[in-house]
Structure 1
């Protein structure tokens, strides 16, 4: 079934490479005995990316040509790609402003579906674990498999963020987003027998060597210095007086998965080196550094105009994946931030839906790094870039 997508093409913008790594780049070898958690009743399978773990979860749930997937309207396309690769109808449910599922929307979409709904995808956005107990009850009542998306959650074989993995029959996560790995996806199941018959293949020796090389190179990337901090005002002045070259926002229709999903990689296991890094990195330090950086963002932006923090407060046990910041005026602020080299993501390629929140957040909600590898100079530079850019007046644009 073809889907309508909004796609943002930034090719005319001439954005430079980010000046700071958006994902972890350095290895923290420190594992204490109290970090080693065992999940004896849970089964695990390793994949090269979380999207392929999701694909296997969808397949096991019965998603396909005759089985639909319910997915959140605010999404990265790789959350939907696995279902499209299976030839399945994808139905998007609405979200509330805090990105919790709208149960009324779920009821309506389920009632109107002409294809049996086989799976419901529920996402813990930005690493903040949510209470999906009502959602699980809703799915159980209708005989739908709940797939818990922990791709933004610190969830590995050894460590599970508090509250994660309690709701889904299947759980998918992306450890590489929390550790300096080349790759890494994980499929877990509440009962190990649910994964009987799930097989993956080794990536091979050459890929292992390339992965090690990539990890070493990533750890040696040049760091920012105080001199970079002093150049922000000069760069901003030049950008403000330059004519803005906005990207192209277009609407297209497609029925297949995006180029970010490779069917040839769907059954490839994660690299052994990636698994070693994940199992030998300190989850405790990871969590504490991320919380520290997240709260630094909150404090630094509390008085900044033209924006607001989506989640000003986070639980004490949270391991945030990214820092979500809402921009009042993506034009020009998003462009200026990108042109300054700020490492920032936003989900501007998204399926069109009736969800007002998804439609709004698509271009307005930024994902800023708060990972454990960030140095003091890097955090200081990013905070200064955002504060100075968003303080600039916006005239005649929306």
Structure 2
């Protein structure tokens, strides 16, 4: 079996292709975070083995390592969110405990070239764990340039399909996964998953408001003293509430795998790219922001649209109060990476998933444009 076998072309609706290689190269989990935790464990992460992780991260990327009581070192990133090789080398020289693994992430569905990073890891005897949680990667399909460098590869198929759960662990060397054992979901969990999958397939709802109501609410919000909350970094010595030890070895639902296998990849890619490009066109003429990746690669399936805003206080909070479904990673661990420190509060994640309707995109783009054009006190 070759080290980097080629995945087949995109799946068609109701006709899933054969796996690109044998099923023993995969293990299924309820979430990508648990697949990641198993990859950490297999790589030797724990009290005796340290992890190198990207400074820009969500809590669930570090939770599995914290659950293993591991020492974590955050490496700096460059402007395109690729690892800074010189900073990485300097950081490695300061670590006393053996470094067993490096976590590298393809952010927002845009593939990074990790070929040099893999060579660096091999030279230093470090396992490369390729995080494809923002990438369209299943047993039958992978986005170009992803899933080919890591000794272990993890993904979160449920983020791209209307299913209730789904995390995937892959290894080109199937023997690496021999120690992995998962527990199947119960019948009750399967039935609950089917119910949730049906509800998800009906689409997601957003507030039904016209442009006039956005203007009215922005005027009210700008005249109201809002609580910005606590933007301070939080030190943690254990996993967050999003990580469940009880769920760490549970296999994903059979219904979820059925949905992934029988959904149209072509339609998924097309709709996500259209919505992403819609965001790019919208923000091109809007002040106080910039698209982090305005040029979408031809072979890319975006997960979210990353938007850098100039004034998170108040614009982020106004958007949240309006009901725009946006996210940011403001609970990151502390680091010296300037890019990550900036993105923690300034980088928004906007939805571009395939289930969004034209009306929902119209409302969200209008809300974003009106909010970012709205005057901020003390700013000319």
TM-score by length of 1: 0.89
Given that 1:332 and 1:394 are in contact with CA atoms closer than 8 Å, whether structure 2 keeps it comes out as yes
Equivalents in 2 of 1:87, 1:360: separation in Å? Answer: 28
Q: Find the aligned partners of 1:336 and 1:84 in 2 and give their Cα distance.
A: 34
Alignment match of 2:213 (pick from 231, 235, 239): 231
Q: What's the offset of the Cα at 1:37? A: 5.9
Residue 40 in 1 paired to residue 40 in 2? no
Q: Distance in 1 between matches of 2:274 and 2:89?
A: 39
Describe the shift of the 1:397–1:73 C-alpha distance in structure 2 as closer, same or farther (beyond 3 A): farther
Distance 1:371 1:340, change over 3 A: same
Question: Do 1:36 and 1:159's aligned partners in 2 also have CA atoms closer than 8 Å?
Answer: no
SS at match of 1:190: coil
Quick check: 1:163 aligned with 2:145? yes
RMSD: 1.8
Q: Deviations over 1:231-255 (max 9, x none)?
A: 2222222212222221122344321
Deviation per residue, 1:236-283 (Å, 9 max, x gap): 222122222211223443211111111111100011111111111111
Maintained 8 Å contact 1:226/1:377: no
> Is this contact kept in 1: 2:14–2:263, CA < 8 A?
no
- Do structure 1's residue 58 and structure 2's residue 40 form an aligned pair? yes
Q: Deviation at 1:98?
A: 1.1
| Higher RCO structure, 1 or 2 (CA under 8 Å, sep 6+) | 1
- 1:224–1:377 CA contact under 8 A, matched in 2: no
1:364 and 2:346 equivalent?
yes
Give the alignment partner of residue 63 of structure 2, picking from 72, 76, 81. 81
User: In the alignment, which of 286, 303, 324 is matched to residue 304 of structure 1?
Assistant: 286
Contact 1:212 1:273 in 2 (8 A): yes
CA contact (8 A) 1:225 1:377 kept: no
Query: Does residue 341 of the first structure (1) align with residue 319 of the second (2)?
Result: no
**Contact 2:49-2:100 within 8 A present in 1 as well:** yes
Task: Give the secondary structure class of the aligned counterpart of 1:264.
Answer: helix
Q: Which residue of 2 aligns with 1:151?
A: 133
- The Cα of 1:223 is off from its aligned counterpart by 4.2
Deviations 1:201-248 (A, max 9, x none): 012011111111222233446745875344222222221222222112
Counterpart pick for 2:356 among 352, 355, 374: 374
Q: Please, which of 157, 169, 184 is the counterpart of residue 202 of structure 1?
A: 184
Return 363-372 or 209-218, whichever deviates more. Answer: 209-218
**Is the alpha carbon distance of 1:320 and 1:137 closer, same or farther for their aligned partners in structure 2, counting shifts above 3 Å?**
same
| Structure-2 residue corresponding to 1:116 | 98
Q: Where has structure 1 moved over 4 Å in runs of 4 or more?
A: 220-227
Q: Which SS does the other structure have where 1:350 is aligned?
A: coil
Equivalents in 1 of 2:57, 2:176: separation in Å?
27
Residue 196 (structure 1) shift = 1.1
Q: How many residues align?
A: 369
Which structure 2 residues correspond to residues 16-31 of structure 1 after superposition, within 5 A? 31=13
Structure 1 residues 289, 106: CA separation in 2 closer, same or farther (over 3 Å shift)? same
Query: How big is each residue's C-alpha offset from its partner over 1:8-51, in whole Å with a ceiling of 9 and x where there is no partner?
Result: xxxxxxxxxxxxxxxxxxxxx95276x73632267000000000
Structure 2-normalised TM-score?
Answer: 0.93
Alignment of 1:92-103 (within 5 A): 92-103=74-85
Question: Does residue 162 of structure 2 align to residue 180 of structure 1?
Answer: yes
| Aligned partners of 1:176 and 1:183 also within 8 Å | yes
CA contact (8 A) 1:331 1:397 kept: no
The DSSP-based 3-state class of the residue aligned with 2:97 is coil
